[in-house]
Structure 1
């Protein structure tokens, strides 16, 4: 069961990483440091969108419209952190 705990923590770490990369890339694209007309950048961007958008979609339905400010990544990151805390505090269940 310890391996199940480690696998869950690994999945949460990978999702956390994808969200952080998506946030940083969105900033770089908005500030025109990265250009979506470059094929490599566009492939990474659209690939990341396919990964994180299904995670963001339910959160965006719940959150009110904020006039262009997207708080879904922040809410998801807080949720992942909360899940990590819950799993770490209940590690005895997995042993």
Structure 2
């Protein structure tokens, strides 16, 4: 049972991780964020990235907040997996 829960957490983490990565790369291409897929990704990713953008201001034209957000996402995933192992053995 623990293995299945860990797999589910890992799949959700990886999907959201790649959604953030794709959304970041979409910012480099003009008008891609205004596309249908860009708007969907924005609605799913921006609520998570917004608090990090308030904490980590951009340096010139470079926004480092997604890197911090990805690190926090990894830490949350790692912590949740550790908790599941501890609780369910």
**TM-score higher than 0.5:** yes
| SS state at 2:63 partner | coil
Partner of 1:12: 13
Structure 2: state its 5+ residue gaps. Answer: none
Structure 1: state its 5+ residue gaps. Answer: none
Offset at 1:45? Answer: 1.0
Partner of 2:74: 81
Q: Taking structure 1 as the reference length, what is the TM-score of the superposition?
A: 0.69
Q: Taking structure 2 as the reference length, what is the TM-score of the superposition?
A: 0.73
Give matches, 1:45-56, under 5 Å: 45-56=38-49
The CA distance in 2 between the partners of 1:54 and 1:69, in whole Å, is 20
- Aligned CA-pair RMSD: 2.4
How many residues end up aligned between the 2 structures? 86
Offset at 1:76? Answer: 1.2
Offset at 1:54? Answer: 0.2
